[in-house]
Structure 1
Amino acid sequence: MDFPGLIQFLTQQPLLTLAFVSIFVTAVGGVLRGASPVLGGFVRGVGNLGLVAALLLTIAQVTRFTSGNDLALPQIGMPEQSVQGGETRVAMDRDGHFWLRATINGVPSRFLIDTGATLTAISPALAEAAQLKEKPFPQAIMMRTANGTVQAQLTSIDELRFGSVVARDLDAVVAPGLGDANVIGMNLLSRLASWRVEGRTLILVPHHPQDENS
């Protein structure tokens, strides 16, 4: 991807842009602390606040699925992903979304691929089945759902696998507001060598394609 293409992509992904800028600001603050501890600490604090804001906005974003049918899991006729020459191809479903079947720590489930989500989000039921543990976070993460305000949890996925793609040590949020649905976000897609949409097919290309049956 060339520089103009990168700029265009980032303008279409405001939360991802916020996360990148916050990481950069935090790094600059770390450099400045050597010359000016007060200024460096302030700049790092701003960067950390930006990262927290990106996380909270992502959680708020995934809760939008709780009140509609967009994320209702298809019961029949859902196209499966296929592997061709190291690429994983996912056909668009009749609801206009890209769904695939993946496993988390060996536990299978359905996932929506959402390029507007910064973090991967999973349901409490899948988190329990995959024996995921809560990841410490300095502040409580609260989510508004149809059943009121609940506390969300950060976690880390040992292995998420689908088609020719395997992601390890992947951060995710356990989101009660999703019900039984799960979302693959940009923190996984950004690890790929490339991804693109051709017509009604999403094509995912990993750096090191894995055997689908391994």
Structure 2
Amino acid sequence: MSDLSYGNLFYLLLLGGVLVFWFFIQNRENLGRKVQQLAAWGLIFLGTIAAIGLWDDIRQTALPSQMVYASEGRIELPRAPDGHYYMMLEINGAPIRFMVDTGASGMVLTRQDANRAGIDAAGLPYFSQAMTANGPVQTAPVRLGEVRLGEITDTGFPAFVNSGEMGQSLVGMSYLQRFDKLEISRGQMVLER
């Protein structure tokens, strides 16, 4: 700690001491109750300080983020609290969050995500069919103008738009196989191209 930090700490302690002394002098008649209230405020203060100090760890646990190392062609996806891996891709310039599904053969967009990417989901011909865990669903094949992950860009990428309700867009093996390496280790999925 620098001299300035020690000076600030001393000032805060002195100010806190004066406030506590004034508090006790003003409230001598209900001292027991005031000590309980002071203890409660002290615990709230300590909890706030602890939350601020641990914010980076809390944020990483609650909202893990992908790391893109463009110069190395490396992407690291942390496992989310629900046990899945999620990838943020730009589809035709629109950021869309995908769940990584190594059991899916293709990339499947929800109707909402397709609309965000500039694809008219209502006007698509849903003539193809995909098998899911919940049974068959109608899909429409599309060709995405641009799929971007950091500095990695693919153009004319084939995908599907799901005709039914789907909670999350999926990125499957048709995209993942474009990487030279896919590894899952210690709660991270690592992709290298």
1:12-60: CA deviation from partner (whole Å, max 9, x where unpaired): xxxxxxxxxxxxxxxxxxxxxxxxxxxxxxxxxxxxxxxxxxxxxxxxx
Q: Tell me which amino acid in the other structure corresponds to 1:109.
A: I
Q: Is 1:121 equivalent to 2:108 in the alignment? A: yes
- Could you tell me how far apart the structure 2 residues matched to 1:89 and 1:144 are? 29
- Could you tell me how far apart the structure 2 residues matched to 1:126 and 1:80 are? 20
Q: Tell me which amino acid in the other structure corresponds to 1:113.
A: V
Q: Is 1:82 equivalent to 2:47 in the alignment? A: no
Change (3 A) 1:190 1:150: closer
Q: Is 1:132 equivalent to 2:119 in the alignment? A: yes
Q: Percent same amino acid among aligned pairs?
A: 26
Alignment correspondent of 2:158: 171
Displacement after TM superposition at 1:80 (Å) = 0.9
1:156-211: CA deviation from partner (whole Å, max 9, x where unpaired): 111111234322211111013353411111001111122111221111112xxxxx
Question: Number of paired residues?
Answer: 127
- Could you tell me how far apart the structure 1 residues matched to 2:115 and 2:62 are? 28
Partners of 2:138 and 2:164 within 8 A in 1: no
Change (3 A) 1:144 1:199: closer
Change (3 A) 1:177 1:166: same
Displacement after TM superposition at 1:118 (Å) = 0.4
List aligned pairs for 1:1-214, cutoff 5 A.
Answer: 77-84=62-69, 85-132=72-119, 140-142=127-129, 151-206=138-193
Measured on the aligned residues, the alpha-carbon RMSD in Å equals 2.9
Structure 2 length normalisation: TM-score? 0.57
Q: Secondary structure of the residue that 2:147 maps to in structure 1?
A: strand
- Could you tell me how far apart the structure 2 residues matched to 1:118 and 1:142 are? 13
- Could you tell me how far apart the structure 1 residues matched to 2:89 and 2:146 are? 10
Alignment correspondent of 1:210: none
Displacement after TM superposition at 1:140 (Å) = 2.3
- Could you tell me how far apart the structure 2 residues matched to 1:195 and 1:150 are? 28
Q: Tell me which amino acid in the other structure corresponds to 1:185.
A: G
- Could you tell me how far apart the structure 2 residues matched to 1:79 and 1:174 are? 27
* Unaligned stretches of 5+ residues in structure 1: 1-75, 207-214
Q: Secondary structure of the residue that 1:177 maps to in structure 2?
A: coil
Change (3 A) 1:150 1:201: closer
Moved over 3 A (4+): 142-145
Change (3 A) 1:172 1:178: farther
Q: Tell me which amino acid in the other structure corresponds to 2:63.
A: M
